[in-house]
Amino acid sequence: MTQAQNYKELFDGGYKDQAQKLTENMSISKLQDWENESTIFIFEDDSAIFTSNSEFRLATEDETK
């Protein structure tokens, strides 16, 4: 299981604040789209989380490029 999958599972399990904090603290890179108010967090294992407002999901490969 990737880091992103672990954080997504934690989020879906009701531990939203903890998942969001871990995502922010454990990411090695952030891609921010100010216009669309979204952020993609990239981790050491090349997995990624996409966040925007209340959306918290695994990022697609195209989104991380």
Q: 3-24, pLDDT tens digit by residue?
A: 999 999 999 999 999 999 999 9
Q: Any idea which residue has 């009701």 for tokens?
A: 14
Question: What pLDDT does 8 receive?
Answer: 98
Half-sphere exposure of 4 (CA within 13 A, CB side): 21
Over range 29-34, report the average pLDDT: 96
Would you place residue 65 in the very low, low, confident or very high pLDDT band (cuts 50, 70, 90)? confident
pLDDT digits over 34-64, tens only? Answer: 998 999 999 999 999 999 999 999 999 999 9
- Given a contact cutoff of 8 angstroms between Cβ atoms, the answer to whether 31 and 49 are in contact is no
Nearest to 4 by CA among 64, 58, 60: 58
The residues, ordered by sequence, that sit 6+ positions from 56 with a Cβ below 8 Å of its Cβ are: 8, 11, 16, 19, 20, 23, 49, 50
